[in-house]
Structures are given as structure tokens and as C-alpha cells.
Amino acid sequence: AWRCVYETGYVVNCYGMVVDVSEKVACSSYICIDRKWKDGDKVEVSLPMKMRLETLQGEDDFVAIMRGPILMGASVGTENLDGLVANDGRWGHIASGKLVPLSETPVLIGTKEIVTCYLNSLKPMKGNTLRYKLSGIFNDPKFDGLVLEPFCRLHDCRYMMYWLCMTSDGYSAYTKRTQEEEKRLMALDARTVDAVSVGEQQPEVDHKMKKENSETGMWKGKKWRDARNGGYFKYTLSTNGKQSLSLMATYWGYEQGNRKFEIVVDGTVVATENIVGKWNKEEFVDVEYKLPETLVKGKNQIEVMFRSEKNSVAGGIFMLRLLTE
């Protein structure tokens, strides 16, 4: 008996013997070859690695391309690679190159079934192992000719690893819906001096978070942090020596309960908030608080605290940014 540890449906061809083992076999089961063996008999096991798509958790329109167990990717250019090589600075691990709108990246057009069928029709490039030229499958013909290859081979370049994948009609609607939002976020990023993705471990460690009676969670795909019953959470943010600064906090626009709190910068209360009933809309809301120049003048960093009142909640906060004018 031969131990079968491969995926369901693979075919085993047995050379030098008349044995039919082409039927599908359950994973971790056995294929039995009942015959009289003689010297020189050979068994060839064929394990074809087909292309498949794996959906990004929580984002049904984004997929990774796999060939068997191998993650595939594609280089999309080498321009604007500022911050490519990390240093030992506080944010040395963060690439600081120019951001590219999603609308300017290659998108796979078609249902997941159609795209998978297309990928499995590709032949390797001549003289290359596991390299495939992609054409006729993108939102824009300018991306034709991209080379799909194992992600582990890609370095010193911009690359695609997770791809937006949708039908042509779906992509048109998506583009219309996201263009204005992308434009807004790009402008916001251009103003951002420092930012904290609250509730995420590494950004909070990087910004020296301290807390008391504080909790985190997830809502609408975004992480949040709050503080309860007189508790607080605070971060240290870099000013980069700039003086005309504002603090921007992202809230959910339809909060319930008691949510009265103070925003404190280096011990000075800069705002008192009550976000219950303030917007009454089920979407995220950005609120900008102008900081007095006396609080930031001559400083390279400031400490920002959200402090709840007794029997109340501060937040939740979904994103925190320090902005220039």
C-alpha cells in the first residue's frame, strides 16, 4: 500500500503496470496497488499544482493567487522606493515612498471562476520556471505583460500580492464609489505628520501607549480603542518640529450610551467631547481639533490623552492623526 498525503483528485500514473488509480482519493487515505512486483517496476506520482484564488479574510473582493502552496506575485515598478531599506530609527521599518491610488493598480476583471480558469490556461514563459505573462485580464491594457512569479523571488520593487478581483460592471461601480474617497485620503496623508492605527499592537508600541480601564475591539472592519469610567489611553506623537498642527480623531457616527470625555495634550485640556447624538449617521466621522501653538512650539513630540468621565466612555477612537495646516 502507498500512503496518499496529497490533495483530493490528483492522478497517479504507474509505469510498467496495468493499474487504474485515476479515481479521486480522499486526503490522508490510501491507494492500494495489488500486483506482483518485480525488479525494475516504477511508480510515478504526479502532483499537479493548479492555480487558485484565496480570498482575503474580511475583504471578499481581494484575492491572493496561489499555485499549489506557492504564493504568486508581480513586480509593478521600481520608482519612488524611498525608505526601502530599514534603519534603526523609531519608524525605520515604515516605507515612506509615494502612495499610489488603488485605481492606478492592476485589477483582475471577471468572476473568480473566470479568472481562475484564465490563470490555469497560462503556459510558463520559455526558459523560465514558474513565470507567467499576464495579458487581457486587467482593468487597463497598460498592465498587460506583467509577469506572475513566486512572491519569494520579488525584491527591491513595488509589487502586487493581493489583487482586487471583480466583474467589469462591479469595477465601474466600485471606481465611482472610491475615487473621491481615495482623493480625500491621499490629501489627508499628505498633511499627516504622525498617525496611530489605534488598537493595533505595533503602532501602539511605537507610540508608547499607556492606558487604564481601556478596551479594544473591531467594528465595520476597523479596530477601535476606548477608555471607561475615568480611565484613559494616551500616545506619544512626533511633531517633526512643526508648529501649526491639528489633531484628528476618527469616530463612529452613531454611538450610544454615555460618551463624555476630554482630550488632553501634555496635561492641557484641548477639547471636551460628547459624541452621543452628535451626528446620528452610520458611518465613520473625522473630527479635527486645532492645537494651540504654545502647546507644540519647540517640541519634537507631544503626549495625547483621551480621558473618560466617571460612568462614561472615551471614544471609541478608530484612527488618530497629527496634521499640518
What confidence tens digit (pLDDT) does each residue in 29-70 have? 787 788 899 999 888 877 778 999 999 987 889 999 999 999
Nearest partner of 196 among 54, 91, 319, judged by Cα: 319
Q: How far apart are CA 17 and CA 22, in angstroms?
A: 14
Q: Per CATH, which fold does 194-324 belong to?
A: Jelly Rolls (2.60.120)
- The values of phi and psi at residue 5, to 5°, are -125, 15
Torsion from C-alpha of 8, 10, 14, 17, nearest 10 degrees: 60
- Assign residue 72 a region: left if phi > 0, alpha if psi is -120 to 50, beta otherwise? beta
- Provide the residue-wise pLDDT of the chain in tens; the chain has 325 residues: 333 333 333 333 333 333 445 555 666 778 778 889 999 988 887 777 899 999 998 788 999 999 999 999 999 988 878 777 777 887 777 777 777 777 789 999 999 999 999 999 999 999 988 999 999 999 999 999 999 999 999 998 889 999 999 999 999 988 888 888 888 888 999 999 999 999 999 999 999 999 999 999 999 889 999 999 999 999 999 999 998 999 999 999 999 999 999 999 999 999 999 999 999 999 999 999 999 999 999 999 999 999 999 999 999 999 999 999 8
Predicted local confidence at residue 25, as pLDDT:
62
Q: How far apart are CA 44 and CA 14, in angstroms?
A: 6
314 contacts 234 by C-beta, under 8 angstroms: no
Q: How far apart are CA 99 and CA 81, in angstroms?
A: 10
- Residues in the chain, how many? 325
- The values of phi and psi at residue 213, to 5°, are 55, 45
- pTM for this prediction: 0.55
What spatial distance separates the first Cα and last Cα of the chain, rounded to whole Å?
A: 74
- Burial class of residue 48 (count of CB atoms within 10 Å of its CB; 0-12, 13-18, 19+): exposed
Q: How far apart are CA 235 and CA 68, in angstroms?
A: 44
Q: How far apart are CA 286 and CA 304, in angstroms?
A: 17
Predicted local confidence at residue 13, as pLDDT:
38
76 contacts 160 by C-beta, under 8 angstroms: yes
- 3-state SS track over the chain: CEECCCCCCCCEECCCCCCCCCCCCCCCCEECCCCCCCCCCCCEECCCCCEEEEEECCEEEEEEEEECCEEEEEEEECCCCCCCCCCCCCCCCCCCCCCCCHHHCCCEECCHHHHHHHHHHCCCCCCCCCCEEECCCECCHHHCCEEEEEHHHCCCCEEECEEEEECHHHHHHHHHHHHHHHHHHHHHHHHEEEEECCCCHHHHHHCCCEEEEEEEEEECCEEEEEEEEEEEEEEEEECCCCCCEEEEEEEECCCCCCCEEEEEECCEEEEEEECCCCCCCCCEEEEEEECCHHHHCCCCEEEEEEEECCCCEEEEECEEEEEEC
Nearest partner of 74 among 161, 175, 199, judged by Cα: 161
Domain ranges, ordered by start, for the chain? 1-48, 51-166, 194-324
